[in-house]
Structure 1
Amino acid sequence: MSGARLDRRAFVAAGMAAGAGLASAPVLGRRASARPQAGRYRGVRTGPVAAFLGIRYARAARFAAPEPIAFTGEPLDAVEFGPIAPQLGLQDHPQSEDCLFLNVWTPEADARARRPVMVYFHGGAYTSGTVTDPLTHGQHLAERGDVVVVTVNQRLNVFGYGWLSPFGERFADSGNLGQLDLLCALGWVRANIGAFGGDPARVMVFGQSGGGAKIATLMAMPAAAGLFHSAATMSGQQVTASGPGNALARTRAFLAEIGVREGDIDSLLALPAERLVEGLDARDPILGGRVYFGPVLDMRNLPRHPFWPDAAPQSRDIPMILGNTLDETRAFIDPRGPVLAGIDWSNIAERLAPQIRIDLDPRWVVAQYRARYPDWSVERVFYAATTAGRSWPGQVIEADARARAGAKQTWVYQLDRPSPIDPLRGAAHTDDLPYLFGTLDAPGSYSGTDSGAAATSAAMIAAFTGLARAGRPGLPEWTPYTLPARDTLVIGDGTTTMVADPRRWQRELWATAPYIQPGS
């Protein structure tokens, strides 16, 4: 997420006005003219697109499964975003356990239109984030791609993924409640999106970072079968879920942090949400750092790992795009921060060790990179190694697993276009978002608004909307990913090029030891 700190009114106004060509779009509010309507909901216009914001798709009691909300009833205004999920950070935005709201952008709220539907799940692992970020507002994607865009908020962290099943049958769904929220939202889309001009038979899910991981997890959940027809993940993978033993250890660490005894469930249910959010500072007993909550292999809602030992059979008929950026870790290991301060060849190995997720001797890793790329700087080796040893392996495993299983076609991309805004950023985690959403000048975007950014955006919008519309990317030159070729679309500065196995040497280096999914 961008992390931009704006008050609520400025946040909404900036996001709805952001993007090339819509700088003068009207601010959301009751004064907007030509109020569009779909079912019981009255939205607003933003340029040529109708927006319906803050539509409640379900309600849920704490640690309970969501209950769908009827689409009929008294007319309701849908003109501002609902509250976001409780979390650490983003404190300038209203947070509430009552956060099951979605948003719709459509070129035409006409049931006869039957446009393809693109449903977006946000990043932030399973712990934080929101679709109210201006980077992911859907008006430009809806207009330029001629699609209906839906963005979904859901429960997160302990509220959505805390594992309480060992403490009683009433918590049987805990550990995957956030996933059940997404299933409920997709059920809402299937039942109601026609009123907004969408085609319920052409629903594509797409998500960045944690949003992509949520999609990978859905692809192994039987209840998700038939709810979406194509998928795309952007720097987000879920090879394995959390085991119940590790999940219970994390719950115990969390309970200790907030001072609740393991059997005192009544106190846990009675505590204010703010106190539970404070407990998210608990130390993770498995990974270190803040406690991790994510989907759990509960054998009830999630009966197998998403991509281990193979691609889940139910996912193999779903055409899929998988992508990553060239310099993922430059987004969350600050080139100007303490990890890189004073780095040189004498200390790079010790700086590298905490940042990778494959258990190889970092001294050996550095030696291999130096021998292969003698002209690379210490900083370049550090970011290449942390990206390839942390953020990229899950995508390789998933794409290879689909190819081996004979899954319906898979397409892989790699974003190489460096940020023109920050020369130290390169092509970092989240940098593909403004290109796809067309939010090039939104707060938090590093894309710039030059001709290269515009061409890159046009290519990504064409590719993704093509998958939603026809089950294959809208770039004819983008060939499917197969083994052993591993053809990959490399997205440069306004250019797209097919390259076979573009980081083969790094892929093979890191494949010499197993990748362990964080949180498993």
Structure 2
Amino acid sequence: MKAAKLKTILGSLGVVLALHSQSGWTAQGPVATIGAGKVEGVEQGGVLAFKGIRYGADTATTRFAAPRKPAAWDGIAPAREYGASCPQTPIGSGGGLFASWRPTPVPPFSEDCLFLNVWTPALADGAKRPVMVWFHGGGFSQGDGSSTAYEGTRLASRGDVVVVTVNHRLNVFGYLALNDYGDSYRDSSVAGILDLIQSLEWVRDNIEQFGGDPDNVMIFGESGGGAKVSTLMASEAAKGLFHRAVVQSGAMLRFPEQDAARAAADQVVANLGLDEDSIDDIRSLPAEAIVSAYKDTGAATAPTFDGRILTRHPFEPDAAPSGRDVPMMLGSNRTESSIFLGATNPALFDLSWEGLEKALTATYPDKDAAAIIAGYRELEPEAEPADIYFEATTDARWLAGHVRQAEQKVKQGGAPVYLYLFNWDTPVDGGKWRSPHALEIGFVFDNVANSEAMSGVGEEQQAVADIMADTWIAFARSGNPNNPHLPQWQPYNLEERPVMVFDTEPQVVNDARRAQRDLLNDGEGYGNRYQR
């Protein structure tokens, strides 16, 4: 079979890099030499892109165990298409806001999913560019690094940086707490985190070939990606593999309780018809059967303590010492909850004042909804009922959780932390979504066109992207986010508590939305969001 035809067939299966012997392959694009062999990418927009680079072996061979390094290959392996994503239960579209994020073709699901993607202005030129490593959202259960919103061409070109996005094990394949079933399962509750660590080891060992600086690596992520960043800040095994950290709408204070995680894993085992004597059969069962067995069990919502990789919570009761010397930037969006609550209950967008009180009472039955509403109306006289509902349910949880994480980082007395609030409202769907969860991602990557379904496109959108992208680039370069787009932004402290409020005209607001948070503080609920 001709090499080109064989490549097409394997590419459709999402396993292009499983072909480790490519002696007949003739490279037509840029070629990089890495530890395992040579890879060929493509040139796009003046940037060199390498997609689907294998950083680990097929995880079907290491199910519920630590990842293995990939076998070396001869010749040149094509790296032109995204690799497969970890098996998962697809989630909804969030009201269509994510429609333009969908790559073409959509990568398949496979346990052979340890792939990463690199965008760089040049290869092995000794430029020592900052490296920005992105961990995708979707909690610890869904998603991949292949979204068009994360496409790194514009960010790499704009900032003269190297951008990396990563696929890794998720849900039951990455975090099923089978630790009680014997030493061979000791990594089961942290397998996905071990994948991330291995991807950072790959960056350390190979990124110079892509013009990047292994001693200047920033990890960043949104939602579950931010939680992964928070987790790595708490792992001694990851110490030294990254030098800056950004948490976007994903502060993680503590992991699920170990006993609950293991009890939920026991339920998955029972659903598969297995027990202590037959547990090893779980390594050979079809992936689809395992995905089906974990539905509605509450299992594998996040990593849990394993005693080696994770030995304590990230930011409770204090900040983990392993992240002490890593500068951090973190923040949330003004109405994170509109995408979660509004997408599942569209009536919330049209609340009356009476309906608002009923909705808040239903959400917080132990709170005085009337007093909360009165407080918000005094603080924000122009606010509509839906504004108050989405802001209150965000201020109380999301913003409160990020403030808590920033406080813990400050109390640690190490590297600085910078706290932000993203305040810009999307005009999509008549503006009803306000400033929802994930809206800032397209701006951070300078990918307004790719994020059109969520943000729309136009001069104002590009102006916001200019601000956000340059701020993230500045932080990646030096650990300080200040740049010409911003007023002076001081690190967070427990006196003034400066917060950068991102909008068309950014401004620093001390202790932003403190009065609103005090009306309804649900920080405990935020901290428990990964609990079973």
Task: Compute the TM-score of the two structures, normalised by the length of structure 2.
Answer: 0.85
Query: Which deviates further from its counterpart, 111-120 or 175-184?
Result: 111-120
Partners of 1:335 and 1:425 within 8 A in 2: no
- Listed as ranges, the matches of 1:458-473 within 5 Å are 458-473=466-481
Query: Which deviates further from its counterpart, 470-479 or 38-47?
Result: 470-479
User: Given residue 409 of structure 1, which amino acid in structure 2 is its aligned partner?
Assistant: P
User: Given residue 55 of structure 1, which amino acid in structure 2 is its aligned partner?
Assistant: I
Ranges of 4+ aligned residues in structure 1 off by more than 6 Å = none
Show CA shifts across 1:77-105 (max 9, x none): 11111100100117953000110000000
Q: Residue 23 of structure 1 aligns with which residue?
A: none
Query: Which deviates further from its counterpart, 503-512 or 269-278?
Result: 503-512
Aligned counterparts of 1:292 and 1:191: Cα–Cα separation in 2: 30
Q: Residue 309 of structure 1 aligns with which residue?
A: 317
Q: Residue 51 of structure 1 aligns with which residue?
A: 49
Once the two structures are TM-superposed, the CA of residue 252 in structure 1 deviates from its matched residue by 2.9
Once the two structures are TM-superposed, the CA of residue 272 in structure 1 deviates from its matched residue by 0.5
Partners of 1:54 and 1:103 within 8 A in 2: yes
CA separation of 1:73 and 1:237: change in aligned 2, threshold 3 A: farther
Once the two structures are TM-superposed, the CA of residue 449 in structure 1 deviates from its matched residue by 2.4
Match of 1:428 among 422, 436, 442: 436
Q: Does 1:386 align with 2:393?
A: yes
Aligned counterparts of 1:44 and 1:261: Cα–Cα separation in 2: 49
What RMSD, in angstroms, separates the aligned Cα atoms of the two structures?
2.8
Once the two structures are TM-superposed, the CA of residue 432 in structure 1 deviates from its matched residue by 0.5
Aligned counterparts of 1:256 and 1:338: Cα–Cα separation in 2: 38
- Listed as ranges, the matches of 1:141-156 within 5 Å are 141-156=155-170
Q: Does 1:98 align with 2:108?
A: no
Partners of 1:154 and 1:182 within 8 A in 2: yes
Show CA shifts across 1:372-393 (max 9, x none): 5465322112101211223222
Query: Which deviates further from its counterpart, 417-426 or 137-146?
Result: 417-426
User: Given residue 42 of structure 1, which amino acid in structure 2 is its aligned partner?
Assistant: E
Show CA shifts across 1:56-88 (max 9, x none): 101231101011236775321111111001001
Show CA shifts across 1:413-445 (max 9, x none): 111111122310111111111001111111564
Aligned counterparts of 1:208 and 1:187: Cα–Cα separation in 2: 21
Show CA shifts across 1:284-324 (max 9, x none): 3xxxxxx5520102222111100001111121211111021
Aligned residues: 487
User: Given residue 264 of structure 1, which amino acid in structure 2 is its aligned partner?
Assistant: S
1:120 alignment partner, SS class: strand
Show CA shifts across 1:201-228 (max 9, x none): 1000000110010010111111011000
Unpaired stretches in structure 1, ≥5 consecutive residues = 1-7, 13-29, 285-290
CA separation of 1:254 and 1:512: change in aligned 2, threshold 3 A: closer
Match of 2:489 among 454, 458, 478: 478
Show CA shifts across 1:169-197 (max 9, x none): 11111111111100000000001100010
Q: Does 1:320 align with 2:328?
A: yes
2:168 alignment partner, SS class: coil
Once the two structures are TM-superposed, the CA of residue 112 in structure 1 deviates from its matched residue by 1.2
Aligned counterparts of 2:47 and 2:33: Cα–Cα separation in 1: 13
- Listed as ranges, the matches of 1:364-379 within 5 Å are 365-366=372-373, 368-370=375-377, 372-373=379-380, 375-379=382-386
User: Given residue 506 of structure 2, which amino acid in structure 1 is its aligned partner?
Assistant: T
Aligned counterparts of 2:390 and 2:335: Cα–Cα separation in 1: 7
CA separation of 1:449 and 1:78: change in aligned 2, threshold 3 A: same
Q: Does 1:269 align with 2:283?
A: yes
Task: Compute the TM-score of the two structures, normalised by the length of structure 1.
Answer: 0.87
Aligned counterparts of 1:277 and 1:336: Cα–Cα separation in 2: 24
Q: Residue 19 of structure 1 aligns with which residue?
A: none
Partners of 2:395 and 2:513 within 8 A in 1: no
Once the two structures are TM-superposed, the CA of residue 249 in structure 1 deviates from its matched residue by 2.4
Aligned counterparts of 2:380 and 2:270: Cα–Cα separation in 1: 48
Match of 1:217 among 231, 234, 250: 231
Aligned counterparts of 1:373 and 1:310: Cα–Cα separation in 2: 34
**Which of the pair is proportionally richer in helix?**
2
Unpaired stretches in structure 2, ≥5 consecutive residues = 1-9, 15-24, 93-105
Partners of 1:106 and 1:149 within 8 A in 2: yes
Q: Does 1:248 align with 2:262?
A: yes
CA separation of 1:130 and 1:90: change in aligned 2, threshold 3 A: farther
Partners of 1:201 and 1:229 within 8 A in 2: yes
Of all paired residues, the percent bearing the same amino acid is: 38
Show CA shifts across 1:481-510 (max 9, x none): 1112111111112x2111111211123334
Q: Does 1:491 align with 2:498?
A: no
Aligned counterparts of 2:282 and 2:177: Cα–Cα separation in 1: 13
CA separation of 1:69 and 1:329: change in aligned 2, threshold 3 A: same
Match of 2:513 among 493, 503, 519: 503
- Listed as ranges, the matches of 1:323-362 within 5 Å are 323-334=331-342, 337-338=345-346, 340=348, 343-348=351-356, 351-352=359-360, 360=367, 362=369
Partners of 2:189 and 2:300 within 8 A in 1: no
User: Given residue 500 of structure 1, which amino acid in structure 2 is its aligned partner?
Assistant: N
Partners of 1:359 and 1:513 within 8 A in 2: no
Once the two structures are TM-superposed, the CA of residue 239 in structure 1 deviates from its matched residue by 0.1
- Listed as ranges, the matches of 1:39-118 within 5 Å are 39=34, 40-59=38-57, 60=59, 61-69=62-70, 73-89=74-90, 93-118=107-132
Q: Residue 412 of structure 1 aligns with which residue?
A: 419
Aligned counterparts of 2:379 and 2:276: Cα–Cα separation in 1: 52
1:193 alignment partner, SS class: helix
